[in-house]
Structures are given as structure tokens and as C-alpha cells.
Amino acid sequence: MSRIPLFRHTCFRHTTPPSSRVLTKKPFSEMVTQSNGNAEPPSATATSQPTTTVTLSPSYLSQTATPSRHLQDPTSSRKLLVLDLNGTLLLRPKRGKGKAKEEEGVLGPRIRPIHPRPYIPTFREYLSHPKTLSWLDTMVWSSAQPHSVKRMVEKCFYTGSEGSRCLKGLWARDMFHLAPELYGKKTLTVKDLTLIWSKSTFESSPSLVTMLPNSRQSFSHSAETTVLLDDSPRKAQLQPWNHICIKEYGVGIRRADLDVWTSLRHTSRKQKEKKNKEAGVKHGVQEAVVVDVDFTVSEIVPPKVEGRFDETLLAIIGLLETMKHESNVGAWIRNGGLLFGGTNRSETETSGSSMWFDDIDVASGWARKGKDAVHELGIELVDGIHG
């Protein structure tokens, strides 16, 4: 089989999905092979992670090699967005050893707090907008257990008593077909998108059905129409070119976002106090905020534009706005769309990273496109961050 040039994305090839979707530990360098036995270069973000050898099927290679065409009307080819939760849309810090009373008043493990990623309110409104709904289907697939998925979905997609308008399926850990002895263990799970593509209607984990009572709509999706948004390349190794990998929303980025939030509050307070003073004071305070935030951010999660919240979800909106006009998103990603789809730069002009979000110009470009899109739809830009 001939080697097809790849453009710095998670690079895997696969023939037949393994019967078990739980991976055994193995050096990442031995992970992926082609049918000719040559190893593919792994993602730079996962070089130390354990996994197993995976090769991509001829049918998947063929389907993602079919050139993508520009679609004037995005409704002519509906797309499917599969969302991960923890690390992607939110941070759920690891549980401490302490005990506390749960909401029901029963002693048990301390409830893990949930911190949504910046711009979740805007992202939710974008996915729920009638124009977006006309071409995009959205579902959740998390490796967490159903009760945890319920809490995370409510935090990100529910406003008051109003349920989500955009979600059509909720898949939790019980949809991985794990062996009973592995279900409660911290095992590496892989999201095999063929499990979704084999369905003809949207479904949900049994215990989550009541959250989406009217979700059993018919659909037909494939590698040409599906995008998995997940912070882990390992989760997507069976269909790597249907994956948009993003930087994990971890404690470091969360702390940097809180630094920005604190500084902006400080700025707002100062502006109110000196509202009637000289005009130059306002500009001076803003400059001080940027310098103060830059020190913290650069130490924790470089690179990041100083004085701003994490804009990953705005960039995803920009990416979706571009991909809705593609006939084959798998081919578009495979051929460098994430890095070059929004720019005219050559490969030699990139930062050298294998991930689009590590290039500030690329990430900022997609975020600008996302901001333009929500503005055009009349959606307010709301960061949603609270201390």
C-alpha cells in the first residue's frame, strides 16, 4: 500500500477493529502500523502514553482519501459532532480523600466540582441555533459512568429547568461494550465511531434516556460527516481523521482563566472608581492587567494570548463553520485542514508542532472565525467563568 503524505495531525492507520476496545500497555512507538509494516509517526502529545498496535482498514483509508468537495449548501450533507466531556468541555478535578455530605445528605465520597471551559454558554447557544441545527447533529460520548455524565451534561447544556435543544444522544461508559470486570476500573477506552455509524437512530445510555425523551431521530453518518471532539488522541485512534484534538482543559489552564477573571474584575472596579478622572487612567489599568496575567499564564500553559480566556471553543466554532461546507470532513482533516484550512500559509511556515492548537496564529485564526460566526448569528460572546 502506498504511503499517503500526512499534514501533521494524529497519524494512525487501522485494518480491523479489535474485538476489545480496552487497550493494553505498550510503548507508543510500537502503536501504529500500516499494512506494509512501517510505523506511522505518533502525535507529539501522546508519545509517552501506553496503547496497543493499531492499523487502519482499507475501507477507512479509501473513504478518507476521497477528495472533499466544497458544498454551497451545508444542509445537503448533515454533519455529526460527537462531544467528549471531562478535559474537553469542562474540568472535573480528581476526587480528594476526604469525606463529605452529598446533596442527598448521605455520607459518601466528596462530590467532584465541575468547571466548564470558557465560552460554554456561547458554544451551547451556537449548537442550539436554528441555523446550526439545520446542518449539524450533536451528541455526547463520555467514558464516565452515567450518573457522572448526567451531572456534567446538566452543567454544560442545561440552563435552569430548560433542557438541551441541541443534543440528540447521550452515551456514557455503558456504551463501550466493556467486560463487566473492566467497567468500574480505570481502563483506557477507545471511541470506535463505527458503533455510532452502525445505528439508524440516535440513542442514549438507558439511564440517560429521560434527559432526551424525543431524541430517537433517524440519521445516516459516516467518516465523511463525523467529527469527534476529544482531548485524547488515544481515544480516536480507530478513526484518527475524524478527530479534532484539543488541549486538555486541566488545572493549569483553569488557573490561568481564573487569573484573567480576577484581573478583569479588578480592572472593572478600578474603572468605576476612577470613572471621572483623567482619560489615560483607563488605558493604564488595562496595560497593567496584561502584564500581571502574562507572567502567570506563560508559566502554566504556554502559548496563550495574554489577558484572554482560553478560546478553544470559539476556535471549534470556526472549524465547524468551515467543515459544514466540506463533503468529506475525514479527507479534509487528513489533508491538513486543521492547520491549513483557514490560512494560505505553507507547511514550512508553521511552528513545527503536530497539533493545530500549538500554533498561536492558526488557533487565533480559527477563534476569530468563530467570533465572526456567532456575531453573525446574533449570539452574545459570554465567557461564563466564575471564581
* Per-residue pLDDT tens over the stretch 163-208: 788 999 999 999 998 999 999 888 889 999 999 999 999 999 999 9
Give the strand pairing for 167-171 and 226-230. Answer: unpaired
Co-location of 267 and 159 in the same domain:
no
For 73-87, give one letter per residue: b (16+ CB within 10 A) or e. Answer: ebeebbbbbbbbbbb
Count of domains in the chain?
2
Co-location of 325 and 232 in the same domain:
yes
Co-location of 204 and 335 in the same domain:
yes
Rounded to 5 degrees, φ, ψ at 173 are -60, -30
Co-location of 133 and 47 in the same domain:
yes
Q: What predicted TM-score, i.e. pTM, was given to this entire model?
A: 0.76
More confident residue, 123 or 10: 123
Judge whether 306 lies within some domain.
no
Confidence class for position 28, pLDDT limits 50, 70, 90: very low
Cell of 14: 487501522
Is pLDDT above 60 for 157? yes
Judge whether 76 lies within some domain.
yes
Co-location of 228 and 364 in the same domain:
yes
Co-location of 332 and 270 in the same domain:
no
Q: Which of 5-19, 217-231, 318-332, 361-375 comes out lowest in average pLDDT?
A: 5-19
Judge whether 285 lies within some domain.
yes
Co-location of 88 and 221 in the same domain:
yes
What is the average per-residue pLDDT within 22-42? Answer: 36
Judge whether 305 lies within some domain.
no
All residues at 6 or more sequence positions from 229 whose CB lies less than 8 Å from its CB, including other chains: 81, 82, 83, 84, 88, 244, 246, 316
* Angle subtended at Cα 54 by Cα 48 and Cα 57, rounded to the nearest 5 degrees: 145
Confidence class for position 152, pLDDT limits 50, 70, 90: very high
Is pLDDT above 50 for 213? yes
Judge whether 320 lies within some domain.
yes
Q: Which residue range(s) make up the domain with 256?
A: 251-300
More confident residue, 18 or 120: 120
Is pLDDT above 90 for 352? no
Co-location of 244 and 344 in the same domain:
yes
292, 305, 121, 83 alpha-carbon torsion, rounded to 10°: -130
Cell of 209: 434516556
Is pLDDT above 50 for 303? no
Co-location of 151 and 287 in the same domain:
no
Determine contact, residues 141/171, Cβ cutoff 8 Å: yes
Co-location of 228 and 285 in the same domain:
no
Is pLDDT above 90 for 48? no
Judge whether 104 lies within some domain.
no
**CATH for 71:** 3.40.50.1000
Tell me the average pLDDT of the chain: 78
Judge whether 374 lies within some domain.
yes
All residues at 6 or more sequence positions from 350 whose CB lies less than 8 Å from its CB, including other chains: 8, 339, 359, 362
Q: What is the pLDDT of residue 214?
A: 73
Co-location of 283 and 236 in the same domain:
no
Judge whether 100 lies within some domain.
no
- Of 70-74, 200-204, 354-358, highest mean pLDDT: 70-74
Co-location of 197 and 273 in the same domain:
no
